[in-house]
Structure 1
Amino acid sequence: MVISTCQKHLLCLWTSIEGLTKLEDLNLSFTSVADSGLNELSGLTSLRSLNLDARQITDSGLAVLTGLTGLTHLDLFGAQITDSGTKYLSYFKNLQSLDLCGGRLTDAGVKNIKDLTSLTLLNLSQNLKLSDTALEFLSGLTSLVSLNVSNSRITNDGLQHLKPLKNLRSLYLEYCGVTASEMKKLQATTLPNLVRYRPNE
């Protein structure tokens, strides 16, 4: 079962959501949902995919969701999650994809992601304070197929930490201190499966 909703239908959704115990996919992006509303989701333990791309979601909202341990896809693209909030990600051991692009993460927050070893897709773009240390923390996520850390302070020196990620096919480091020549060298010498990468020219 899949539900996608817009803001005007949100109230109607809350009134009936408790009975949707077999719901697997819920999209609440671009709605007015806030932390207080997420209590209604805590019983949806069959959820596998949850999209909460909403600016009103904070660390407190993520804490409410820790019972949803079956999640494999979690989109918090625009949510205001800080380093402190990332500690709640440890409850989601089955995550295969994660988007955290609200701009509030530092390297300390990325350290709390390093044990999510089932991740194949990770998007941490727009977090301007991330440095080469963030890539060092991610170097053990060897299942990663796609990684986006654009708009950060990562440099060419940080690329060495990506060498263990042999499954990477997509790598985005735009608007960082990374050059196209070093990206090409990484692809040619260490990551032969890398077919999409930026900067590439």
Structure 2
Amino acid sequence: MSCTKVTDFGIPYLRGLHELSYLDLLGCPVTFASLETISGFTSLLQLNLNRCGLSDVGCQKLSDLIQLKDLNLGYNRITDACLINLKGLINLESLNLEYCRISSEGLLSIEGLTSLRTLELSETAVEALSHLSGLHNLENLNLSCTLVNDNSLAALSTLTSLKSLNLGDLLLTDVGLPFLSSLIGLTHLDLSDYLFDGFGLDNLKCFTNLQSLEICDGFLDDHYVDSIKGLTSLNLLNLSFNIGFTDRTLESISGLTALCLLNLTYNTDITDAGLRHLTPLKNLRSLYLDFTQVTAGELRRLHRDVLPNLVIFQPR
């Protein structure tokens, strides 16, 4: 029923669906008053209330949804007061609070949800992360566009089950990276807009399981890439909008033969001459070199003669 005009008045018509396990009300103009009916679905495992315009009014009934494994409250006007009602939802494995009006204090209400595997906190006012340190089963954590700083990252050192961590668009520096050194199981890491000062990327060498690394707008240049070239498990590397790379960067990453996607958009000193360094990357399927000095004709030749597996490449 997502993106429909279903309101609180229509929800009671669902009462006969006793075995309902999944309910998607994304974008519907409902309120928490609908929980009077929804809380009666004792088999409900997944509930999506994203973008419903919800406030805290009536949120108390959330505490009745004790079987829930997946709860999406993203893009609503709820605050820390609403999160108090989640304390008893000990079966939750996925919780989305993106763009909600919550702060670090609100995280106290979810520190006991130790079954959580996925937690979405992007675009919130969260800063301190100490209440997350006991969520040892957490695998996916999105903290992008929050108030998290270098010192906040210390609380993540205990989350050794983490596989995906998004720290994009934060005011972080090299001081914060060492706090992540225990997270050796990471397979995806987003450090876009990270403020490296010359040695920070050396801390990435311990993440030998990384399959996806994104460092966009990081003010990087060629010498940083030496810290990346040992990450041979990478299949996605996004270094777009750094503007300091030259053909030497292409040479440095030529040993990352597992790469399927490479994005170096807006690195204006990369030229046609550097494309020869990409010839070992036989697994490449997507290559983005927009706003570089690479010409479309030379890139088409590379596709035709050397990298036939390319499906997407820019410029064309």
Query: Which of these residues, 283, 287, 302, is aligned with residue 171 of structure 1?
Result: 287
SS of alignment partner, residue 60 of structure 1: coil
The one of 217, 229, 240 equivalent to 1:114 is 229
**Aligned partner (choices 145, 150, 160) of residue 30 of structure 1:** 145
Give the letter for the 2:186 counterpart.
L
The answer to which structure, 1 or 2, has the higher relative contact order (CA under 8 A, 6+ apart) is 1
Paired with 2:203 and 2:275, the residues of 1 have a C-alpha distance of 28
* Equivalent in the alignment of 1:85: 200
Is residue 141 from structure 1 mapped to residue 237 from structure 2 by the alignment?
no
Larger Rg: 2
**Residue 16 of structure 1: how far off its partner (Å):** 2.3
* Contact 1:81–1:100, Cα closer than 8 Å, also in 2: no
Give a deviation string over 1:157-176, Cα, whole Å, max 9, x none.
00000000000000001100
Q: CA RMSD in A?
A: 1.3
Structure 1 residue 57, shift from structure 2 partner? 1.3
Counterpart contact for 1:55–1:80, Cα < 8 Å: no
Deviation at 1:111, TM superposition (A): 1.1
- TM superposition shift of 1:150: 1.1
Contact in 2 for aligned 1:82/1:104 (Cα 8 Å): no
Aligned to 2:120: 4
Q: 1:20, 1:48 → 2: CA distance?
A: 13
- Deviation for aligned residue 1:82: 4.1
Paired letter, 1:175: F
Structure 1 counterpart of 2:313, from 190, 197, 200: 197
Corresponding residue pairs, total: 199
Aligned to 1:17: 132
Once the two structures are superposed, residues 7-37 of structure 1 have per-residue CA deviations (whole angstroms, 9 ceiling, x without a partner) of 54625x7252121011000000111111010
**1:190, 1:53 → 2: CA distance?**
34
Tell me by how many angstroms 1:101 deviates.
Answer: 1.3
What amino acid does structure 2 have at the position aligned with 1:10? V
**Does residue 58 of the first structure (1) align with residue 176 of the second (2)?**
no
Unmatched tracts of structure 2, length 5 or more: 1-116
Contact 2:129/2:155 (8 A) holds in 1:
yes
Q: Of Structure 1 and Structure 2, which has the larger fraction of its residues in helix?
A: 1
Contact in 1 for aligned 2:146/2:170 (Cα 8 Å): no
**Kept in 2: contact 1:41–1:65 (CA 8 A):** yes
Against the structure 1 CA distance between its residues 96 and 8, is the aligned structure 2 distance closer, same or farther, given a 3 Å change threshold?
Answer: closer
Alignment gaps of 5+ in structure 1: none
- In structure 1, the residue matched to 2:65 is none
Q: Quick check: 2:144–2:170 contact (8 Å CA) kept in 1?
A: no
% identical aligned pairs: 49
Q: CA deviation at 1:62?
A: 1.1
The question of whether the paired residues in 2 share the 8 Å contact of 1:32 and 1:54 is answered with no
* 8 Å CA contact retained: 2:163, 2:188: yes
Query: Shift in Å at residue 198 of structure 1?
Result: 0.4
**TM-score, length basis structure 1:** 0.95
Distance in 2 between the 1:169 and 1:83 partners?
31
Looking at structure 2, the residues matched to 198 and 8 of structure 1 have their Cα atoms a distance apart, in angstroms, of: 35
